[in-house]
A and B are shown apart, each in its own frame.
Chain A
Amino acid sequence: MSANPIGWDWRTCKVTGLTVDRSAERLIVFNAVTAVLYLAFGGTLALLIALTRWPKMHLISNAEWFYRLVGAHGAAMLIFWILFFEVAGLLFGGSILLSRRLTAPKMGWLAYVMMLVGSLGVTYTMLSGQATVMFTAYPPLKASALFYGMMLLYAVGALVAVLHFLVNIVTARLQGQVRTLPLFTFALLVAAILALFTLVSGTLAILPAFLWRLGVIDHVDPAAYRLLFWGFGHGAQQVNLAAMIGIWYALASLTMGAKPINEGLSRFAFVLYVLFIQLGSMHHILVDPGLSSWARGLNASYFMYAAVMGSMIHAFTIPASMEVAARERGHTKGLFGWLKSAPWGQPAFAAMIISFVMFGVLGGISGVIMGGIQLNMIAHNTLIVPAHFHMTVVAGTTLAFMGMTYILVPLMVRRDLFLPGWARLQPYLYGLGMLLFGIGMGLAGHYGVPRRHWDITFPSMTQLSGGVYDGANIHWSLALMALGATIAVTAGAMYIVVAAGTVFIGRKNDVPNIGHVEASAVTPTDPNAPVHHPKGFEAPGTMMLATGFLVLFILLYGWSWFELSKVSWIIK
């Protein structure tokens, strides 16, 4: 890279050759370690609540505590683990990856402190029973003013972190340190732009609730809150999506030497997210703040499908670029010889590919189906909903993040990966646990079991309940869910041991062993090397797999309409 910089604390990475700003490095380690601590906390709660939802075990015998812990699990995981990690990613993409120093490290620390205090405050209010309102906190359910205040502090802190990233990218550009951003950084930029909109929307939802609890205003419109809250809640998932896909691309390059087969197309697919997701939430707010428009949601369809198109493009270009890279290295046998040659024993690769498949097949298809206006009726607020988002944000995003750390953490702290054997096994175990968990929970939801519910056996209400959820199919599904949860939480704990062990007690090593990494991922190649286009398909194996995916999608979609048609009520 450039000549040795003067006037700031830096080092050269002996593996990648990147110039590393030490202040960025510290900030990244703080954010990442905080994220992992929340993951450990949220994972512990996950096991407790999952074992409670299995009626045979019904672990937590106090309903109030069950609801507190469900709320705290949602917040610790979806908001704290994910966002602290993303901030670490933004810091990395905005400085180290570009071999430049942070423009305003103080801004990064300010964001960190606000987010830390805010998240601790939210966790405290939730555990102490001041805020047993779930992380959605729909008014007029009441939490203490402190809860909303801490939520706001956290949201504003996260906004500062996002702005900090944008400041870095803009100054890098102005100072001529970058021209076109690497695709990975571009994905982060897309995530950051989406995050700006969602965090503002979230702040606008929480602020009136805060003022209401302070007594400044006497009413919060619950439907308007839902609208704004989901402007945040749903948009935030698009942030996670963009970050996760950026990581898929990065890991495909690092572990397989993949280069996007058409960089322009990949970037176009990211731009679809920015355009259509935001139009989506803006439109809801502009036309009608009431429930009717959001329920009818005629418009939901076309932006949603435009965004879905973006994801379907990535679903093809990522494996295709891996296939092309492997074929170029000589793994040309048959349709799938390239797949056989992949580094299945490299934890970063395993995590990436499992995340990719589970996100697409389980999370993606279920999400598109539930997002259909009429089909939503047989899914809304049943266990299908958490089943769906655990496939996206846990099997997908969380596992992708884990994969990224298997490479980045050793490089960052210059220590060998702790317990590499555990790391190799971990993604498979986590994926297996999540698979069983998702199938069990999804089936239970399909049979009508509600989400966020302490006791579906209604022991004190038998005259009314009529044993509505006593069927053997429901009990088996929930048992499967509990089994999957136990496996997944075990694998989650293994991850935490490996990650924390690497940071604190891994063997010091300037050239840490991170498994096989393709040199072409980080060393520029000859820009003039022409791309060789074969006559037939470039990635026939991927074409085959992608077509199979589409067929499965069509079958499940058709089946869902069939299920809807079986409802024995005419609903007009």
Chain B
Amino acid sequence: MKTFLILGAGTAGTMIARKMAGKLDSHDWKVILVDKDEKHYYQPGFLFIPFGWYKAEDVIKTKQEFIPGNIEFILSDIEMIEPAANKVKLTKDNREIAYDYLVIATGASIHPEETEGLQGAGWHKNIFDFYTYEGAAALHSFLDKWEGGRLVMNVVENPIKCPVAPLEFLFLADDYFTRKGIRNKVELVYATPLTGAFTKPKSARALGDILASKNILMETEFNTGEVDSGKNILRSFDEREIPYDLLISIPTNKGADVIGRSGLGDALNFVPTDKFTLQSKDWPNIWVMGDATNIPASKAGAVAHFELEFVVENILAHMAGKNLPGGFDGHASCYIESGFGKAVLIDFSYDVEPLPGKYPLPGIGPFSLLKQTTINHWGKLFFRYMYWYMMMKGIDVPLPSAFSLAGKEQ
């Protein structure tokens, strides 16, 4: 009996476990999935929690619901990965699992302790994150009673999961405070280490225009050095200061600690990974998927989903002793909520920046790229159903995995 082991049962791990369990002959292979947390979070929904538009039950379910009987699920923390011995040590019962193939899908999480003062006296008092359910829920209670002031959104350093989420938060905050009738009492500021609203020129301009149209101020090339929660001041490494009444922080994002402990990661515990095959750069029987990789693609659920087909193809080719076909092109698709019932969609790859046009059907859409439309907003809301009832249930989503230029205006 051979073992196909998957670490992490989030977005990527759940999808690949289901897929491989369906492909591998159960007489020869055992598929094992390990995660330390019995809850499965729909993280894109965390964006709506602070505004009270989603509740806990919209974003939290049990992992068990999405793991079919042909997969052995183990609830345990992972102590160590030992690639030279093809072995993983779990904390629960000191169990050791020998594997033939390993997929690392342990994701990324926030590390506020990396920034001086961020977790000081103000943490979860007037400083919040919304990248965890707890942070988003605490922020909801705060916003409920807040009467206004200066709200500063700060990205500490890149890369972060869902790089558009901070923008979406600001757009929705503008909407939320307007509806509450206190928008004139709230100043919205975006402090980012980037030189503009986004990385690539066309989308940076389009998104920058939306920020300006909503009267959201931008402080660019701001590299956060420390938070002074006594004085409510955010300070950059080059000594610029931004005072705040409410600080919403996207702390440093890092891969799982166990990656670092096992000597498998870079400076941020992301695993060096081939960007076309998703194979580990160091270990031929290890694949890496989703946020855990160091590939230059967005850390997004949609990206993990587009990776799936290629990961399966490459692993099966490797098992059959064939050359790896590669194929993953960095395809990412992100709905960006822009407030007042509209959203913008961006669709891009390693080589092509987000462009205007229609998606997925050229000329037809129904979604419009780099433009605010109501249909895009419905797309964003529909994504939650697609996530829980299709992607996590192993039902193929009718969207091509490969990036296409068709329908895009250059």
Q: Do A and B bind?
A: no
